[in-house]
Structure 1
Amino acid sequence: MSPRTASLADVLREARERRAPLREDPRTTAFRLINGAPDGVPDVTVDVFEHVHVVSLYRDFMPAEEVALLDAVEAAWAPRSVYLKRRPREARHLANVAKEQLAPEVAARGESVESLVALENGLRFLIRPGQGLSVGLYLDMRDTRVWLAGEVRGLTVLNLFSYTCGFGVAATAGGAKRVLNIDASRRVLDWGEENARLNGQPVDRYDYVAGDVFDWLGRLTRKGETFDVVVADPPSFATTRTSRFSAARDYANLAEASARLVAPGGRLVACCNLATLESRRFDAMVTEGVSRAGRKGRGVHQLGPSPVDFPASPEHPAALKVRVLELS
């Protein structure tokens, strides 16, 4: 082992030790081991799901740099399986044409794993480490899912941009009366149904709706439907056949459309993970959208990622912003 590899391996070991509260929790086997610069490893994140480690690179690494990093990961943690995700700035444009280069289907080190089940606060989630840049669960939302589960007993929940329905599973586990999940992709909604079944939850296909979220927000508004809690957790950029969404440009429109569906006294959970969108600007966009919907909003919670595995610093603030507003 080279001195450079040994030094990096020591940094990785220390980061793992800082996750002791999570590593020692038998109800959670999915968390972040490395969160970039605040953990001493700029442009790199590492997420662990049971025995699978997912390494993400946020700049173009030279081949030798990749090898050195993977060597250090093996030296520090002796993982059974390591997957590599390359996420340069242009990754969202290349995802379809260079998928195998960005997110190889086979493990970079150790055994390849088609799927596994990881735990988060006792809930079971299906992880597919080789299926693209996203493997099934966004770990920075763990604390928000816990909060939601504790707030929705007997209530109705609308889960927008639901992906694999992590919020839906948490809300159902928390006793929600109904959860409607909407996403543009039927594939990830099917995955969400698998997650529900993994947790012994009933699945009603009518509550897993594939389609453009903005189109469905309009339909539900015209039908006069409302929900006690609306969770708006969009990707930073999204394109469908009928709409294009950019969080930095369009979040006020999303907040407006979502607010129209919140029952009086209900809550809007506005989420954004775009690092370049500053908190103050995000807050202003949410407030603007709620106002344009003719509603008054009172901020009741600010949530975000757990500082245990998503450490931040003044130079590298947390990307995730979650605002809970009570609407009248």
Structure 2
Amino acid sequence: MAPSLVDTLRASRDRRGSLLSDARTTAFRVLNGEADGVPDVTADVFEGLYVISLYRDFTPPEEEALLDAAVAAWAPRSVYLKRRPREARVLANVAKESLAPELPARGEAVESLTAKENGLSFLIRPAQGLSVGLYLDMRDTRAWLQERVSGLTVLNLFSYTCAFGVVATASGAKRALNIDASRRVLEWGEENARLNGQPVDRYDYVAGDVFDWLKRLAKKGETFDVVIADPPSFSTTRTARFSAARDYARLADAAARVVSPGGRLVACCNHAGLPSRRFETMVAEGVALAGRKGRAMGSLGPSALDFPAPPGEEAALKVHVVELR
């Protein structure tokens, strides 16, 4: 007999093994779609609060059945629901409140909470929109950074709430400069820094177009030992549009120009439609356009423990590290 949805959700969470008992990490993925037996659905947990994302249009009865099963399987403090239509044009025509309701689908309303990852604290706001403050698939990449940046300078591009900057500072980096188009998320990043007892210098939280700032930094001859480029798959600013599948070589070119000799470019892309081999080729093209020589240092990605990929498929997130000369 096929397992019930409750059994499937319970088993999925149980497969997270060591994460369930790690007091230093209280934020991770408990359900990763088809790989865990529930296509088109993911669920992340933050200190007992669950965020469920739907990647197709579910009927109201389907949603209710899923939510009831989640409550039965996980006994959550709260469940917040995010509806994520695949096409941008759909997104533009649907009210934000429908996509990311401010009130929980189950349990108590929670304005904010603090979750931990590898011993560091991050502010989570489950009602803020589709993104709640921390991208969990980057945990292993942040752990990689933790071990390598003592005494170094770090540039965190498309920084969002500055998790890489917090990790760099906590790990002894000489400086971590965060750049993002949104002042609001940078202020959230400042809150994350303070949560971890870190001083906040406004000069290290820069709002503006990343390409513009990379040009300015290159013109001034500023370089960094580690440059992290983690752009959205698609973005639009007042002056430009960016598509990772089309424009990543241009980003790698601009970023490579501000990497110190012997430094590293950490190129990230979370676009399922861009194969890893093509992505690595685009990064190499960009490095060459910048007039730099690069040596591939390997690839990182999401933890297989809580972000398993379906059989025969690669993970959407790709992280390619290149040392530049």
Q: Normalising by structure 2, what TM-score?
A: 0.98
Pick the aligned partner of 1:31 from 28, 32, 49.
28
Q: Does 1:216 align with 2:213?
A: yes
CA shift, 1:313, in A, is 2.8
Provide structure 2 residue ranges, at least 5 long, that are not aligned to the other structure: none
Contact 1:157 1:227 in 2 (8 A): yes
Provide structure 1 residue ranges, at least 5 long, that are not aligned to the other structure: none
Name the structure 2 match of 1:154.
Answer: 151
Pick the aligned partner of 1:311 from 286, 308, 311.
308
Could you say what secondary structure the match of 1:275 adopts? coil
Q: Does 1:229 align with 2:231?
A: no
Distance 2:321 2:243 in 1: 21
Contact 1:81 1:109 in 2 (8 A): yes
CA shift, 1:243, in A, is 1.3
Deviations 1:153-180 (A, max 9, x none): 0000000000000000011111000010
The within-5 A match list for 1:43-62 is 43-62=40-59
Distance 2:88 2:10 in 1: 29
Could you say what secondary structure the match of 1:125 adopts? strand
Name the structure 1 match of 2:190.
Answer: 193
Distance 2:315 2:36 in 1: 13
Distance 2:92 2:50 in 1: 21
Name the structure 2 match of 1:323.
Answer: 320
Distance 2:314 2:38 in 1: 15
CA shift, 1:312, in A, is 1.1
AA partner of residue 204 (structure 2): D
CA shift, 1:316, in A, is 3.6
C-alpha spacing 1:99/1:174, structure 2 compared with 1 (3 Å): same
AA partner of residue 238 (structure 1): S
Name the structure 1 match of 2:112.
Answer: 115
Contact 2:35 2:311 in 1 (8 A): no
Name the structure 2 match of 1:66.
Answer: 63
Distance 1:86 1:95 in 2: 13
CA shift, 1:149, in A, is 1.2
Distance 1:31 1:324 in 2: 24
Root-mean-square deviation (Å): 1.4
The within-5 A match list for 1:1-328 is 7-90=4-87, 94=91, 98-328=95-325
Could you say what secondary structure the match of 1:225 adopts? coil
Contact 1:30 1:119 in 2 (8 A): yes
Could you say what secondary structure the match of 1:214 adopts? helix
CA shift, 1:87, in A, is 0.3
Deviations 1:17-75 (A, max 9, x none): 11121011010000000000000010000000001100000011111110111011011
Contact 2:53 2:82 in 1 (8 A): yes
CA shift, 1:97, in A, is 5.3
Distance 1:214 1:263 in 2: 18
Count residues in correspondence. Answer: 325
CA shift, 1:136, in A, is 0.0
Deviations 1:72-104 (A, max 9, x none): 101111111000000011257626851100000
Contact 1:149 1:172 in 2 (8 A): no
AA partner of residue 320 (structure 1): L
C-alpha spacing 1:161/1:22, structure 2 compared with 1 (3 Å): same
Q: Normalising by structure 1, what TM-score?
A: 0.97
AA partner of residue 303 (structure 1): L
Distance 2:292 2:171 in 1: 27
Contact 1:301 1:325 in 2 (8 A): yes
Distance 1:191 1:93 in 2: 28
Distance 1:137 1:226 in 2: 27
